[in-house]
Structure 1
Amino acid sequence: MKTNYIKNVGILCLSLFIFYSCHNDEISALDPENDRITTPEDIDTDGLYILNEGNMGYNKASIDYFDYTKGTYSKNIYGKANPSVVGNLGDVGNDIQIYGSKLYAVINVSNYVEVMNAKNATHIAEIKIPNCRYIIFDKGYAYISSYAGPVGMDPNAQLGYIAKVDTATFEIISKETVGYQPEEMTIANNKLYVANSGGYRAPDYDHTVSVIDLSTFKEIKKIEVDINLWKIKKDKNNKLWVTSRGNYNDIPSKTFIIDPETDNVEKKLDIPISDMAFIDDKIYFFSYQWSTKDKIKTYGIIDINTQKIISDQFIKNNVESQITVPYGITINSDNGDIFITDAKNYVSPGTIYCFDKFGYLKWKAVTGDIPGHFAFLPKNLKK
């Protein structure tokens, strides 16, 4: 008995040594007791919500949660927090954001925005908006982009609009027409900038950024940029970075910089960007360019001040070879963690990768289907 005991203790110690060596070198193992995937951290961020789009037509949108305080990863927390909600979260989650003490999830094909308690994802209200896409906030209001019409290719598709919602009552108080199939938005100089795609009208794409004066909530101009616009984000220098997806064939994806002081396109960059995240003076981006001819993946860093690529690979140890379809990226400004999601084959569970600020893998976890959107939960929520 004693001999077996010593043998078992030896095996246990060896196992623990291997576990912690692997943890320090690459990723931690999944703890079956509580889904613990990494060491807890005491930072100003409590956690990270991950919105999984789910496959269109299957009602499979879901929300996962990574808890920094416990080092745990939990899947489908909305379903667990709201067992009485019929139909779960809905069809195609397209954006997720926190404003004040509320968590907002834009559910595209289900035509509504789900409003939850940011602390526990319990249901509070829903805002009905057809074919809604993205959400942004300013001074007590939410602005939500809408394709307006039904899902589907249509050369005669109607113009989209932006809905202005009072975040105290969740009532739509106004709508403003913009371009065709509006996507992401950003705010600068008390103006709302909207990237219009025209994706339903291909090959006759839209090619403008709508500018709305937030004082009057009226579109005051359209800026000519390029076809099939998608992402638009503001950097620390108050410049707007806008991405064009091209036509997936002979017109490549590009990136444009708009100066909100003049509302002119300041520069065109022959850099394809699928998604991007900002931290300090840098933009971390990935590009997954697919066309009728090829598929190309890139993970790069751009210097905001020089507007030039300073690295064409920020992931270390060849971990990028594990990623099939990069789909979303975000960065935690508290500790520099870089998160990238992998949509895999679009019909099965994906993966989220967490890298440290130097590009080394800290951990990874299985997600819901098509993970791609994020919201960091701060330790102290604002009301």
Structure 2
Amino acid sequence: MKKIIFMAFTALLFAACNSDDDNVQSEYIPAAFAKGIFITNEGPFNNGSGNITYISEDYSTVAQNIYRNVNGTELGNIVQSMGFNDDNAYIVVSNSQKIVIANRYTFQSVDSIKTDLNNPRYFVSIGGNKGYVSNWGDPNDNADDYLAVVDLRTNTVSSTIPVAFGPERMVTYNNKIYVAHQGAYGQNNLISVISGTSVENTITVGDVPNSMVVSGSTLYVLCGGNPSYTGTETAGSLVKIDLSIGQVTQTYSLGTTQHPSSLTMDGTNLFYNLDGKVYKVNTASISLPGTDIISGNFYTLQAKDGKLYAADAKDFASKGSLVIYDLSTNQQIQDYQTGIVPGGIYFNE
């Protein structure tokens, strides 16, 4: 049945894209991509193009490579991440040194940003007309990393903010940007606090902060720790920061050889990956590693509304999958094929 629905969806999508009737296009495609899940697929590292998979909210429709199918062009190499502002999706294509902008409901191309970016990683917006993009610069140069400040009215970089090396993921709170400095091809241990167009503060956390969530006025930072190949292996940790005072209030450590990743949150529970398992930790009483609830080597996780969405990159050379679990039972309820190296999970609402 799903195959029939998918074929019908694909036929209608191509018909809408090829139609000369703008009314037909606007009536059909917005409904197709509203209320669903986007998976950004990095694609092959050295060649080829990344792409985006779409799954409807009710799981009845799955569509692959939606940007190419709508616009007739590839996104480029590597599709690193995606962020939203108002009606637009900002797709960060790192090796191609650009951000592709598409309408998040039709996925029709809107614009692109191709200047003043150097190994872009992630995009966030604090609303209004300003966006931020983390950039590694030359990943072998620890002194040229920066955030690009984007004027979302003109889709141009209006200024840059020099930051410590290896800026990666970002979250927002109270009109400030919190940047995790994972360390590019090296390692770092900082969170930068960005206000406007300057660095207001830096907060030292554990080594290799790789993911963050905000709950109320608390920022939880998951730190992977230095890997063994560095020769100075350090333990992974979970760091709790009180955003009202901008200070670390608690650090919870794992064993020296334990390197967690992919922190996410649903309700009062944190979830993360460690050693081929997903662990659950209640924020009311944090004790690491927590309770292991699901087995699997997942590339990234997102929890939402009682479900865990887990991207499996498999061998990083063939198509991956998105596996969905019911967190009330910790049982798998869905499994969908994605593109090569599914690295990001985003909810279109």
Give me the whole-angstrom Cα distance separating, in 2, the residues matched to 1:49 and 1:134: 16
Give me the whole-angstrom Cα distance separating, in 2, the residues matched to 1:221 and 1:353: 38
Give me the whole-angstrom Cα distance separating, in 2, the residues matched to 1:125 and 1:49: 19
What are the within-5 Å matches in structure 2 for residues 195-274 of structure 1?
Answer: 195-200=180-185, 202=186, 205-214=187-196, 217-235=197-215, 237-249=216-228, 250-271=233-254, 272-274=259-261
The structure with higher relative contact order (CA 8 Å, sep 6+) is 1
Correspondence for 1:122: 108
CA contact (8 A) 2:142 2:164 kept: no
Residues 1:346 and 2:316 are matched in the alignment: yes
Deviation at residue 63 of structure 1 after TM alignment: 0.1
Residues 1:135 and 2:117 are matched in the alignment: no
Letter in 1 for 2:161: E
CA contact (8 A) 2:84 2:125 kept: no
CA contact (8 A) 1:243 1:255 kept: yes
Give me the whole-angstrom Cα distance separating, in 2, the residues matched to 1:229 and 1:166: 28
What are the within-5 Å matches in structure 2 for residues 175-186 of structure 1?
Answer: 175-186=160-171
Unaligned runs of 5+ residues in structure 1 are: 1-29, 37-44, 288-295, 379-383
CA contact (8 A) 2:167 2:184 kept: no
Residues 1:301 and 2:274 are matched in the alignment: no
TM-score by length of 2: 0.83
Correspondence for 1:14: none
What are the within-5 Å matches in structure 2 for residues 103-118 of structure 1?
Answer: 103-118=89-104
Deviation at residue 69 of structure 1 after TM alignment: 4.6
Unaligned runs of 5+ residues in structure 2 are: 8-33
CA contact (8 A) 2:2 2:60 kept: no
Deviation at residue 327 of structure 1 after TM alignment: 0.6
Correspondence for 2:20: none
Give me the whole-angstrom Cα distance separating, in 1, the residues matched to 2:292 and 2:286: 17
Give me the whole-angstrom Cα distance separating, in 2, the residues matched to 1:147 and 1:254: 24
Q: What SS does the aligned partner of 1:32 have? A: helix
Give me the whole-angstrom Cα distance separating, in 2, the residues matched to 1:377 and 1:331: 14
Compare CA radii of gyration and give the structure with the larger one. Answer: 1
Note the aligned Cα RMSD (angstroms).
Answer: 2.1
Of 136, 142, 145 in structure 2, the residue corresponding to residue 157 of structure 1 is 142
Letter in 2 for 1:189: N
TM-score by length of 1: 0.76
What are the within-5 Å matches in structure 2 for residues 258-337 of structure 1?
Answer: 258-271=241-254, 272-287=259-274, 296-308=275-287, 312-315=291-294, 320=295, 323=296, 325-333=297-305, 336-337=306-307
Deviation at residue 190 of structure 1 after TM alignment: 3.1
Identity %: 23
CA contact (8 A) 2:84 2:124 kept: no
